[in-house]
Amino acid sequence: MISSNDFRNGVTILIEGNLWTVIEFLHVKPGKGSAFVRTRLKNVKTGSTVERTFRAGEKLERATVDKRQMSMLYNDADGFHFMDQESFENVTLQREIIGDPADFLKDGMIVDVQFHGDVPIGVELPAHVELKIVETDPGFKGNTATNTFKPAKLETGATVQVPLFIESGDTIRIDTRDRGYIGRANG
């Protein structure tokens, strides 16, 4: 059991037999009345999101989620294919289950695949990944203006915003949580 006061982003709970992951939460203490927790929850199976309010201290059943380190083999029309690093078991996940992190998955990347029982329910990427830029507008010498960005297409097909001096072929670090540019990769 988990109290609504202990909610954190990424916590998975069971409500009426369905698995839900907390995406956002806010503890509210109004001047009049009792405190409550406003949340945005994502259904693990369908990917749909709902907003729901819980009383402060309300007890809910916490879902048991195991993580296994897996290597991303490849993706195709069937989905993203992963291999367990210990048992060499293969698992396929659809893009809808993975969500936005799928934009940063590349072949050979080691990630944590989340399981509820024997059913894969999601993928947890490292906080930062290094990816190569395959297409962007050219940079100009001396163009180092801060807080000015341009779109860049990554080797995985995702598009992110990068500073003007970044060029095609550069390898950059990306924050997988907010899709933000961190800097050029070392080496």
Q: What is the CATH number of the domain that holds 70?
A: 2.40.50.140
CATH number for position 27? 2.30.30.30
> Who contacts 95 (Cβ-Cβ below 8 Å, separation ≥6)?
79, 80, 102
83 has pLDDT over 90: yes
Residue 177 shares a structural domain with residue 136: yes
- Mind listing the pLDDT tens digit for each residue in 145-167? 567 888 999 998 889 998 888 88
Q: What was the pLDDT predicted at 6? A: 86
Residue 141 above 70 pLDDT?
A: no
Q: Does the pLDDT at position 96 exceed 90?
A: no
Q: For 21-30, what is the mean pLDDT?
A: 89
H/E run at residue 96: helix 95-98
Are 56 and 88 members of one domain?
no
135 and 118 co-located in one domain: no
What pLDDT shows up at residue 81? 93
Lowest average pLDDT, out of 10-24, 59-73, 118-132, 140-154, goes to 140-154
Q: Which residues face 37 on adjacent strands?
A: 27, 54
Query: Considering the entire predicted model, what is its pTM?
Result: 0.71
Residue 143 — pLDDT band, cuts 50, 70, 90? low
How far is Cα 23 from Cα 47, in angstroms, rounded to an integer? 11
Which of 97, 124, 151 delimits the end of a domain?
Answer: 124
User: Are residue 120 and residue 136 in the same domain, yes or no?
Assistant: no
| pLDDT tens readout for residues 101-131 | 888 898 899 999 988 888 888 888 888 899 9
Mean pLDDT score across all residues of the chain: 86
Domain boundary among 88, 108, 124: 124
**Residue where one domain finishes, among candidates 47, 62, 77:** 62
Structural domain for 174, as ranges:
128-184
Length of the chain, please?
187
pLDDT tier at 64 (50, 70, 90 boundaries)?
confident
Tokens of 107: 């072949």
For residues 76 and 99, membership in a common domain is answered with yes
CA-atom Rg of the chain in angstroms: 20
The total number of structural domains that make up the chain: 3
